[in-house]
């Protein structure tokens, strides 16, 4: 029996409470997705019915290839304005073609930087560069992405000047203003889609850039609160806002030393990437839960969204209790999220199908090949009967069968029975109860944490089921 000292026990209780809250939030999110899906279905039917009533003749007035515009609302986008100063100095000693060549070279690199961070370039007006994170693909990491892009732009321009003119000589200077908030995006084009964004968030970002100092990156307090764990920031002052309280602003000095290579604050290290990945996991989770909600067969009464949420929660709980690192927690949560997604392809051998989906999706979120290989091994370890060979595999196997030692074992196991019976894989409930007794009697939890939390209750389950067997 695993025993913990009082401090460790208190920490575990705190983590359990935190994860319980997170589990409830995820369940609420699932319910929200269900309601949204129902609404979308109803809206689709209304649009379809309305479309069917439209006479073909009424559409003849629309010219072929006519520019069409539509709008989308994004609740959280991060807007960046970058003003490249240098025209006045260049005019004094350079011809106009040289001026434009240098500016084009700088802007070309800025384009590459925002593409690297999956940020949408909005437009370039003279020497002002405008882009936004969180559109067209919504993501929770867009404030971090945009600030990272701003730092890279600033570092690039400094290196460009040194390479072009030598140390200590500077002509081009950069001012950057950043703000996070809701925007409305106007979308035009068919073959090549372009975006234009409007709203208070855009106006505020522009005003922040206007008051920033040359060579500085200035962010609003909204952006600051979302990135302060990663970046070294200094309070700058307040921006008067009409009809609202003054807006606090912060100057970004660079990455925090613990998140940068050599502590220099310019290049992110592995610690940054892991912490970023834990935040980014929320985006991946939303995509996968939505996929499960839409694509899982109706007969999956047990292997449903709730089970996936339970496993993701449990691997984090057991992982922390077993002393796993931040990276290991990320691998565990990702494996837990994908371990049953293969059910959208096939019931049998779903573990393998889950690894295929993971290998296709995770590179887009900067998981390394080594990390993906470990995640897939963790997923495959959940195939029954479980035969884990590493601590992380033991943790997910224990999490996957956590219900065996929970107080809600009977109702949960009944959902698995209904799932198997719907596929003609199980006979009577009495047969199922006999099988359960045999399975639980031969089952073992692998981690000390799971044995401590669940083993006693698991033995009680056997006694409870035996009372239900009629022959």
120-165 pLDDT, tens digit per residue, is: 999 998 889 999 999 999 999 999 999 999 999 999 998 888 887 7
| Predicted pLDDT at 24 | 66
Domains located in the chain, CATH noted: 6-39+273-466 (1.10.3210.10), 71-268 (3.30.70.1230)
Alpha carbon distance 220, 227 (integer Å): 11
345-357 pLDDT, tens digit per residue, is: 999 999 999 999 9
Q: What share of the chain is helix, strand, coil (3-state, %, to 5)?
A: 60, 15, 25
Give the end-to-end CA distance of the chain in Å, rounded to a whole number. Answer: 34
Alpha carbon distance 296, 174 (integer Å): 50
CB atoms within 10 A of CB 277: 22
Is the per-residue pLDDT at 188 higher than 70?
yes
DSSP label of 268:
B
- The average confidence (pLDDT) of the chain is 86
Q: What is the mean pLDDT of residues 325-334?
A: 98
| Predicted pLDDT at 55 | 44
Give the pLDDT band of residue 171 (cuts 50, 70, 90).
confident
Is the per-residue pLDDT at 230 higher than 50?
yes
Q: Smallest Cα–Cα separation from 312: which of 296, 295, 334?
A: 334
195-214 pLDDT, tens digit per residue, is: 899 999 999 999 999 999 88
Q: What is the mean pLDDT of residues 255-275?
A: 94
| Predicted pLDDT at 121 | 94
**Structure tokens that stand for 92 in this block:** 């004094």
| Predicted pLDDT at 40 | 54
40-96 pLDDT, tens digit per residue, is: 555 545 544 544 444 444 434 444 444 456 788 999 999 999 998 765 455 455 666
Helix axes 305-321, 270-295, angle to 10 degrees: 150
Q: Smallest Cα–Cα separation from 105: which of 90, 117, 119, 93?
A: 90
| Predicted pLDDT at 6 | 54
416-428 pLDDT, tens digit per residue, is: 999 999 999 999 9
| Predicted pLDDT at 2 | 45
Alpha carbon distance 68, 75 (integer Å): 23
Tell me whether residue 418 is exposed, middle or buried, using C-beta atoms within 10 angstroms of its C-beta: 0 to 12, 13 to 18, 19 or more. middle
DSSP label of 362:
G
Q: What is the mean pLDDT of residues 433-449?
A: 93
Highest mean pLDDT among 21-25, 213-217, 281-285: 281-285
| Predicted pLDDT at 244 | 77
Chain-centre distance for alpha carbon 249? 26
368-404 pLDDT, tens digit per residue, is: 999 999 999 999 999 999 999 999 999 999 999 999 9
Alpha carbon distance 330, 312 (integer Å): 10
Q: Per-residue b/e over 50-87, b at no fewer than 16 CB within 10 Å?
A: eeeeeeeeeeeeeeeeeeeeeeeebebbbbbbbbbebe
Q: Smallest Cα–Cα separation from 141: which of 286, 34, 347, 307?
A: 286
What is the percent of the chain where pLDDT is above 90?
66
Alpha carbon distance 325, 130 (integer Å): 39
| Predicted pLDDT at 45 | 56
| Predicted pLDDT at 61 | 42
Give the pLDDT band of residue 292 (cuts 50, 70, 90).
very high
| Predicted pLDDT at 28 | 65
CB 106 within 8 A of CB 98: no
| Phi, psi at 189, each rounded to 5° | 95, 155
Alpha carbon distance 250, 260 (integer Å): 20
């Amino acid at each position: 029996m695993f025993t913990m000292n009082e401090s460790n026990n208190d920490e575990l209780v705190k983590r359990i409470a935190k994860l319980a809250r997170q589990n409830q939030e995820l369940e609420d999110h699932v319910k929200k997705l269900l309601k949204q899906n129902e609404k979308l279905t109803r809206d689709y039917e209304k649009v379809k019915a309305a479309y069917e009533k439209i006479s073909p003749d009424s559409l003849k007035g629309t010219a072929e290839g006519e520019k069409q515009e539509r709008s989308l609302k994004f609740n959280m986008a991060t807007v960046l304005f970058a003003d490249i100063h240098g025209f006045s100095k260049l005019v004094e000693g350079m011809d106009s073609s040289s001026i434009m060549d240098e500016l084009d070279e700088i802007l070309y690199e800025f384009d590459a930087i925002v593409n690297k961070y999956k940020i949408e370039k909005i437009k370039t007006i003279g020497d002002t560069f405008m882009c936004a994170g969180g559109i067209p693909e919504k993501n929770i990491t867009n404030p971090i992405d945009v600030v990272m892009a701003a730092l890279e732009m600033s570092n690039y321009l400094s290196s460009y000047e040194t390479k072009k003119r030598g140390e200590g000589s500077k002509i081009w200077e950069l001012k950057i203003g950043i703000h996070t908030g809701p925007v409305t995006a106007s979308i035009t084009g068919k073959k090549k889609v372009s975006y234009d964004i409007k709203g208070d968030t855009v106006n505020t970002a522009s005003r922040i850039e206007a008051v920033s100092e040359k060579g500085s990156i200035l962010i609003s307090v909204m952006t600051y609160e979302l990135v302060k764990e990663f970046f070294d920031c200094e309070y700058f002052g307040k921006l008067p806002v009409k009809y609202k309280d003054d807006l606090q602003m912060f100057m970004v000095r660079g990455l925090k030393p613990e998140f940068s290579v050599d502590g220099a604050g310019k290049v992110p290290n592995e610690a940054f990437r892991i912490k970023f990945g834990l935040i980014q996991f929320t985006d991946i989770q939303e995509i996968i839960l939505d996929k499960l909600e839409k694509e899982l067969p109706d007969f999956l009464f047990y292997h449903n969204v709730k089970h996936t949420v339970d496993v993701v929660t449990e691997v984090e709980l057991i992982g922390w209790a077993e002393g796993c690192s931040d990276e290991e927690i990320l691998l565990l949560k990702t494996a837990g999220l994908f371990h049953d997604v293969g059910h959208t392809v096939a019931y049998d051998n779903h573990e393998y199908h889950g690894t295929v989906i993971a290998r296709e999706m995770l590179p887009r979120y900067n998981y390394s090949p080594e990390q993906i290989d470990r995640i897939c091994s963790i997923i495959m370890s959940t195939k029954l009967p479980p035969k884990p060979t590493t601590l992380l595999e033991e943790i997910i196997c224990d999490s996957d069968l956590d219900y065996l030692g929970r107080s809600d074992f009977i109702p949960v196991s009944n959902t698995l029975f209904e799932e198997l019976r719907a596929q003609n894989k199980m006979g009577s409930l009495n047969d199922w109860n006999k099988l359960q007794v045999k399975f639980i009697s031969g089952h073992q939890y692998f981690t000390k944490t799971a044995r401590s939390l669940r083993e006693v209750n698991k033995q009680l389950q056997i006694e409870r089921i035996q009372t239900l067997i009629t022959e």
